Structure 1
């Protein structure tokens, strides 16, 4: 009998524990998602609902922009204002907003053009004037690509309980045609949803700012939006400011329906690479932990671990591991959807395989180039999420 190699034994045991923790997180995401999502809380009377200032930063025209913005004019909420922030006075989005304001004159709305430079973050610079003009203490920052249901704002406000300072929507995808859209749905309904739901349940900051309701006076205590102008991941750091002051950050019962009219798999991968770069710069520990909890890599490592620890057949273990992971992801995707998936099981299978197989490639791409391209500008990321704009030399 060969002597026990304690180094290999410890490594195998650590991998097996990580594998076991992953299944706990997978089940936790399913249970919490089933309990939390698509379940309305009891609504107060209209008189009890506070006013909300909705800030919409806009840049350029999207094929679905009119449709997306119109949903905000048709919300069933007693008291809110729409603050459209547009950086460039020649932006064609101005005409779309003006046509909607004319179509819905009873909805309180304003257009702010030009913004104000308070940092390198173009979104903060664009929104700052609208933020300063907000009438209400509750602020909803909502990206231009979000399509809003009639009762979603009320749901977000109801979830903003006394000890909760921020309510954000978990990203998902609206109903669109084509495999590229279904591919995005698979990602946001499986990999991303598992992380997002578990982090929220465990009190870990995982906020994305595409649709985020917050208490303005707390942001002001943290220095206002100006204080976050030097960061590209301002959404994460805004949420952290609430957590640091003892407030809770929760998700809404309804997901954020992204409805961009421009979508393709290469475009989506570029977006994921940008997000990965931001996560690595803002939370460096992700470099180690995030790859470990991916299906294929964890399956390969744990197959070796159980073969070493228990003398199990590694190939059989790997196949069972992938099959069970796939089935749990399919269950989770249906929970996020809130019913049957709006695409075929075959499309889910293909999308799931592509998502899982491309993860390592996307991680490598993020590490190879620390430069971030966003809104036609280039930025260099520093540790802590601080960024600096890369200026093109005059020609």
Structure 2
């Protein structure tokens, strides 16, 4: 009886291990399919029927790395749009960057809205609400200020709304480290390996909403309906929460609409940062998520190379090899690392970005050491950052689970069990 229980336990854990590996490989395959080439169909003139008008909303606060390039990417979209920049104050240094772009593109339907409304502790939602109400068009593209997108991104994303079941279209967020800072390299590694493959894999399955808010398209009317709001008031309902992106996706999902992952990426250039800054950022978002997606947060360590490898070596070894299999663990780590290396360079090849007038950080295999651009990073340069990120994953998770306080935009918050962000004022 005890032997049967032990075998059944091993079988359950091995099934989970197999599922984790499957999602990982599904994500890597999905990324390869999205990044291997430029789509032939993308311009507005190539989309069947009349183009669906879109309002682009870009919330701004402060100066992000290469802000001019990121904001400029909105002006050169090859699809009809209205563009609204949202700021809390005209004294914000980003205001001058916007004015420079408005002067550079005088014939673009673009404007800036300034106002410091407050509906809750989330400054991004407070900032967006005025644009949400003022937008001419029902279909909105909420695009973070620190993100660059290729010129055909909007045209290709809008095509997904031809399916009446689609309520939200989003893009994989990736980062490009502009310098050699350990924190920026760790963030880049995390987004181009672990995060991207599981993010894509879960979206390929389509069993639950898995959305980050870097680049999201949805209809204002759908969000108003999902939140039982009056015209244009759907956004402000999320000002109480830090994780408005996931909650918006859940609200739309609850009405029967589904999310769709587009082929392009939301590319964020990141300046030098310390390893501590990377750790603090990861702790912050795990603490935000742990009351929101409890099960996914609890099993997150089992999706990293070491713990998943130990589970595989223990269960497979006991089921078939008479004990823990070190050979299984070694092969697992080597294959996992190799796949991450390939996945990293599927992104940094930027094969799905066309055009000559593209910023330097989207050149093929961009590296902070510009002499290395044009060819994949050497394994000896890439591997230490990969190992460091994997070794940090479990300690970061443990620290995250042991508290509820976060620092966001230099303001302290406590995340309550009902997901509301409560600012700490004392």
Identify the residue that residue 61 of structure 1 maps to in structure 2: 63
How far residue 71 of structure 1 moved from its aligned partner, in angstroms, is 2.0
Identify the residue that residue 385 of structure 1 maps to in structure 2: 419
Once residues 161 and 262 of structure 1 are traced to their aligned partners in structure 2, the CA distance between those partners, rounded to angstroms, is 41
Q: Tell me which of 358, 363, 385 is aligned to 1:351.
A: 385
Identify the residue that residue 302 of structure 1 maps to in structure 2: 312
Identify the residue that residue 395 of structure 2 maps to in structure 1: 361
Once residues 302 and 393 of structure 2 are traced to their aligned partners in structure 1, the CA distance between those partners, rounded to angstroms, is 11
Identify the residue that residue 199 of structure 1 maps to in structure 2: 202
Q: Is the CA contact (8 Å cut-off) linking 1:296 and 1:322 kept in structure 2?
A: yes
Identify the residue that residue 117 of structure 1 maps to in structure 2: 118
What 5-or-longer segments of structure 2 have no aligned partner?
352-363, 367-376
| Change in CA separation of 1:8 and 1:353 when aligned onto 2, cut-off 3 Å | same
| Change in CA separation of 1:108 and 1:260 when aligned onto 2, cut-off 3 Å | farther
**What TM-score do the two structures reach when normalised by structure 2?**
0.85
Q: Is the CA contact (8 Å cut-off) linking 1:148 and 1:257 kept in structure 2?
A: yes
What 5-or-longer segments of structure 1 have no aligned partner?
none
TM alignment of 1:1-395, pairs within 5 A: 4-37=2-35, 38=37, 40=39, 42-43=41-42, 44-45=44-45, 48-77=50-79, 79-163=80-164, 164-174=166-176, 176-178=178-180, 180=182, 181-203=184-206, 204-222=208-226, 223=229, 224-261=234-271, 263-310=273-320, 311=322, 314-338=325-349, 341-342=365-366, 343-392=377-426
How far residue 381 of structure 1 moved from its aligned partner, in angstroms, is 0.8
Q: Is the CA contact (8 Å cut-off) linking 2:283 and 2:396 kept in structure 1?
A: yes
Once residues 214 and 65 of structure 2 are traced to their aligned partners in structure 1, the CA distance between those partners, rounded to angstroms, is 18
Q: Is the CA contact (8 Å cut-off) linking 2:177 and 2:272 kept in structure 1?
A: no
- Encode CA deviations 1:4-39: one digit per residue, 9 max, x unaligned: 444433322222222222222222122222334455
Once residues 23 and 50 of structure 1 are traced to their aligned partners in structure 2, the CA distance between those partners, rounded to angstroms, is 39
| Change in CA separation of 1:234 and 1:136 when aligned onto 2, cut-off 3 Å | same
- Encode CA deviations 1:191-249: one digit per residue, 9 max, x unaligned: 10121111111112110011111111101112310221211111001111121111121
| Change in CA separation of 1:161 and 1:267 when aligned onto 2, cut-off 3 Å | farther
How far residue 263 of structure 1 moved from its aligned partner, in angstroms, is 3.7
Once residues 21 and 172 of structure 1 are traced to their aligned partners in structure 2, the CA distance between those partners, rounded to angstroms, is 24
Q: Is the CA contact (8 Å cut-off) linking 1:29 and 1:332 kept in structure 2?
A: no
SS in 2 for 1:361: helix
Number of aligned positions between the proteins: 389
**Mean Cα deviation higher: 319-328 or 40-49:** 40-49
**Mean Cα deviation higher: 52-61 or 85-94:** 85-94
- Encode CA deviations 1:149-205: one digit per residue, 9 max, x unaligned: 111121211233332111111111246343644433322122101211111111121
- Encode CA deviations 1:326-373: one digit per residue, 9 max, x unaligned: 122223223333557443322321222112111111101212221121
